[in-house]
Amino acid sequence: MPYLLYMHTVCIGPSIMTITFLGVPTGGTEPLPLYSFHVPAGFPSPAADHLESHISLDELFDLRAPHVYLVKVEGDSMQGAGIYSGDIVIVDRGREAEHGDIVIAAVNSEPVCKRLHRRDGVVILKSENTAYPPRYIMEGDDLVVWGVVRYSVRDHAQ
């Protein structure tokens, strides 16, 4: 699947993170079989009873939507949220970022993947790794939220 590529390395204090913008996928995917493993209510069949439907990854992850794009994240600052170095995150820029969302954002033009905390006028971008301190957004900082992370994809065969 072809992507538009852009890489940016970010160093914020002790945190080092590389974000690669993969862009919007341009190819389509064929629907894949979706199997469920429940107890059949009749004579068991080896596979036929487990085939629930066919599902397209494009539809499942809303990949064809113009407001959805992919980002490859490097670094360990979000591992507590289940986002590991090398994972690809699916980002929805059409969704309003809310308190507690994981976002792709830029702080003073430096891209980051962090959890957004917004309470009583205070904005904090937090890592999900205690080795990294929270980033308080101060007066004069430029914060642009590029989108909300909806899903992450990991290659388990590595």
For the entire predicted model, the pTM comes to: 0.73
Active-site residue among 15, 114, 127, 152? 114
- Rounded CA separation 136/43 (Å): 61
Identify which of 75, 147, 68 has the alpha carbon closest to the alpha carbon of residue 105.
Answer: 147
Residue 27, CA distances (Å) to 3, 81, 93 in order: 9, 29, 20
The pLDDT score that the predictor gives to residue 114 is 97
Question: For each of the chain's 158 residues, which pLDDT tens digit applies?
Answer: 444 334 444 444 445 556 666 666 556 666 655 555 545 555 555 555 556 677 777 777 777 777 888 888 989 999 999 999 999 898 999 899 999 999 999 999 899 999 999 999 999 999 999 999 999 999 999 999 999 999 998 988 87
Write down the catalytic residue from 15, 77, 127, 152. 77
Domains in the chain: ranges and CATH: 6-26+53-153 (2.10.109.10)
Is 72 assigned a catalytic role?
no
DSSP H or E segment with residue 74: strand 68-74
Q: Of all helices (H) and strands (E), which one includes residue 153?
A: strand 143-153
Instruction: For residue 126, indicate whether it is catalytic.
Output: no
